[in-house]
Chain A
Amino acid sequence: MKKSMIIVLAMLLVLSVGVVNAGAVELRVYSMFSGADPASGVYEELIEEFKAEHPEVEIVDESATLDESVKVRIENDFASGNEPDITMYFTDSQAKPIVESGRVTPLDEILANSPEWKNGFLDSVLEQVKYSDGNIYALPITGFYEGLIVNLDLFEEHDVKIPETKEELFAAVETFRANDIVPMAAGLGMTPHYNIEHSILKVGGAAAHDAGIADEINPMWVDGLNHMQELYEADAFQKDTLTQDWSGARQLFKQGRAAMLVEGSWAIADAQNEGANRVTIVPYPKVGENGNQSDLIAGFTSGMYLSKEAYNDDEKQEAVVELLKHLTSKEAIKKIAEANGGLPAADVTPAGLSKPYQDGLEMFKNADHVSLPIDAQIQRPAWQTLVDGVAYIVSGRRSAEDILETVREIELQTR
């Protein structure tokens, strides 16, 4: 190798040791508000505001869209003591590696010492993000609701009633099929999550949906999964649904080729396709005897965690609590809810929401009961086994009982 090359190499190595920070208090923050997230702009403003008010605090923003590699990083950060000072993460069954690492602070006492901050949150919401040990480790910002997103133009054009019952649902399927429109876009192959939840909820009711699978296989789960098969056999979904995920399903809906889509509040803006579709969101129809028309899947499954180490560090404590307060204040929650159309965790009314989002909030308020999604209640390996089993069930290759048997086995092993 030439000498010049080695010199260049040495220089690059010196350079690469890089990034030394100044003496100030440094806080590392991870949030999911990044990139394509509609709230990323608001989040960045909040961080800038905080910086302006606290010039002595240096903020290292590690936010990124939460994909599998970022999950690995975060779980591992907590496992090995390299956790950010504030971390936004899930509060459902995925919270296990975070909370059980013992590196996050219970927030109950900190909240109790600051009543104004605590009163900003809705009590019911704080209840929902409690960990199974009864402590609050994460402060929620916005939540979501799920339902049946419908293309109003297609329903009106073909004179179809927005379904509220099983009969109406199948009637709609038949009419749309006859008119060469995909009745319900779904990604049954890769992401049947929302269809599973709603099928079980609306066949078996909230109690069955929330029962989990560890104690026994609830017969309503079998019926719920068979409801999906019935729809599949009635040609309700697009032909290639078994190799698609939510993005493929949403694309058909956006193109105006599909009339219905089971999804969450986060999808509404995208489903409208910049106004090309007139849409609204309604509860999934009541399918079985035990189902209840207005019941919903909704809730809060993420929040901001505070690192124990940062909280116990005298130099950092004040700044990190201030920052957490700033990011989860009533005003911050309102701004974020306005940006992403989610349910605010505080008692505020988001302004300037478009019609479908107003419909969604209305639907949420009218619900008799809301359940968290099934994956908030059963362990991840078991849930994924159920998800992967859907293609087998709807195509009749394996029975729902058979798949649920396997799911239960894995659930018991995991616990």
Chain B
Amino acid sequence: MLSLYKNTIVKRYNIFKSRKPNGKFAFSSLLLFFGIVINSEIIYAQDYNASPTGNTGKVEADVIELEQGSNTVNALKGRVSGVEVENGKLKIRGQSNVEDKLAEPLVIIDGVQLPSGFSWSANDQFSPLNLLNSSSIESVEILKDADATAIYGGKGANGVVVIKTKKVLEQKLRVSVSAAAGSTGVDSWYDFLSTGEYLDIRNKAFAADGITPDEKNAYDLLLWGDKYNTDWQKEFLGQKGKVYNGNISISGGISNKTTFFINAGYFESGTVLLAEPDDKQQRINTKLLVNHRGLNNKLDITASIAFNKLNIQSRGDNPSSNLINAPNQPLYNDDGSLYWLNSSVVNPLRHKYVVTQNKGTDLITNLQTHYSFSSDLNAILDVGYSRNTAEQFQSYSGKYLNPYANNSYKNRVLAGDSYNEKFLVEPRINYTKKWDNHSLTALLGASYQADHFAGDDLELRDFPSEFFFRNYAVAPVKYLVNSNTEDIKRASVYTRIGYDYNAKYIFSGTIRRDGSSIFDRENRYGNFWSLAGAWIFSDENFIRNNLGFLNYGKLKISHGVTGNDNVTPFQYITAYGASTYPYEGGAGLILKRVANPQFSWEKTQKSEVHLDLAFLNNRLQVTGAGYLHISNSLVGNQPTAFQTGVDSYKDVLQDVVLRSRGIELDLVSTNIRNRNFQWLTTLTLTIPDNSRITSFPGIENTSYASTRKVGERLSITRLYQFTGINPENGVSTVKDVNEDGKITAADDKLFLKDTDPDYYGGLHNSFRYKNWQLDAFFYFEKRPFQEGYLKTYYYPAGYIGKNVPRSLVKDYWSPENPGGTLPGLTTTTTSDIGYAYFNHYTESSAVYTDASYIRLKNVSLAYTLPEAATRKLKAKNIRLYVRGENLWTLTEFDEWDPETQTAVPAFRTITAGATLLF
């Protein structure tokens, strides 16, 4: 195995990992109880492709396991600097394109690429990452800089996530069993007005407006009364779901040359939103891996096949808008059917009749062949195939529909089927030469990947009854909403040369040529490169002699150009496509786009400076990195006068530059290390300044004019500047920038602010006393400007049918309270207060708030049975644990949850379990 740097650096640096028997069973988390390993060398020492000079972050099994949710990605939040996790999506060091959708990193699992997500159908929550079993994951690495991502080429332009699943390759039979159970749900609630308080505010608002309530403008007052006092949050999200998790691994060998590893896991979690007993998600994970070593250990073959399955049944869709309904709104009629008043008042409980059933599967096969011609020369061939399927089904029962409304359909089903295939071949040759203090490695590699996607979306309407929902043929109205296939091929050749002198001066360089079928033949190929150098200055005598407290010090610098082909494919073809509607039954074809053959790879220059330090007998390790990414040759919408027939076409945007930069800090400290007691702290901190447009000539004429601005980040919003409540009439006021006496969006909505975090990170403390271990992980984020409650739920206090949190009726303006900080009460959009509220106030800086928070994301308490007791049970090791997620949050954010930023907060989950190793 090529391990150029292993002997030198790893031993010296990795104080924790050295205790882990190398390549032994993954259940070494007892010994290795500190989650994060910062230094890339460890990873790369065992990786053929490794770069000793690249920047990566890595999270290992024991940390990932702490996250019991269904999405493994969440486990990375705050664990790796430079990685933003938002609602299950990853963003690595900002984004490099002016179009929003294109910043997803490459995900590689056991050498096979996963699609980043299914955005095909009605509900796009179906990230393939949801199918992974967090307890079968050995490690998740994030590759960030140009050097580390270089061998992935264009695919890795937005960073690379490398997931490795657990495996053991030993002849001796080992069995590991784990099981856990617990409960999950929402545990923090907004403080809404009760029915009495709500009616009181409504009456006051009518008085303030000088309007007489009647059955049309005050049905809540005159028709509904105070019979009900519903807390809609509890109605929607009040239930708890049960969580079960079980896993078994068996490993062993037929001989010492042929070994196998089998893993099977089951996970189940009840859903919370309007849940019925059958609503839950279930996941099954299986994996078989066989390894054979032969020909005097020159040949090493690993074949693996993994199959994962996920079923989700849930109800309703985003409940946000329903949680603010009047507390006295009747729910049911006497006969148990839903209560409806008229065509415009919605009964929120109708969401009970929207049922979503999603089924996903995930097949990942991989064959890795490694042959050593000599100790200097190895050849590797990886062949992988993955196939993901998603079957999505969403039914809207007729009971969902308002019987008074003019419904264009009844009993409706939205259904989508899609699959994604990826086939990958990657041959590589490695050559190593060492002489005296010199070491040279050369890697020559190629890769070929073919992706295929196919999917259909159907809409089926007017089933005679719900009974037939699965029987599509029965539906009298059927639409094929969407149907497509897509093929993309990519091919690359690359070489990487590494050289080091005395393991002290390290250099590596990569050159590659990437081709992508996304571009026209003439523009299909791009050449990219990266260069990196590292200097282990702690090995210099002058440092050793003068700075004795420094155990390790390394400075790394990398620079490179990566290409991104993640643009809308096939723009080089003048294409016709189906018209939006058919005409006289026949599908029409219309001109969809006029070809633009010109564009090619987007380019990002990535530079990084990286410093690793270790002090106090390696008990304090600090890694700092600064990065600068400059993206140009960006593809976007080129505006044109509409007389052409279009307002823009895709083109390379001349001289548009996007910049991301930031500072990342990772720290590992062994505070106490005794025989009986150990305390370890890890800290990550990211201070980003990402995705800032530094140049965009003529932006005012583009479709980006209203959403982007030169010098600002991509996430900016345009707002009015709030200038307070008029003490005379309670009307909210905003700044009239051009002082023309009128408030108009074009002239006055000029207050710009981005919603990016100032910094974020995680703090993990781990304590071990004899057989006990306590872990606590806090995530923190400073995000000073985020749309808050008033933006999302934009009704003023006193408005018909809309409840408000108690905090919004504490200091509203009234003639008696002229200094009130909130607009006066109103029942209508047409009063002065109401007009300003809807048109200016909710579009102003007033409704943005500080969404910073600190959250105790994970706590785990574990106990390892004493050896004597374990032996009695014929086990090697037995461990019991209790885990909690999202137990505590500190925030001033005025909306439901600063993390999810929706009405569904991060669930609080508590589980207890045991792991046994035989």
Bound together: no
Which positions in A face B, CB cutoff 8 Å?
Answer: none
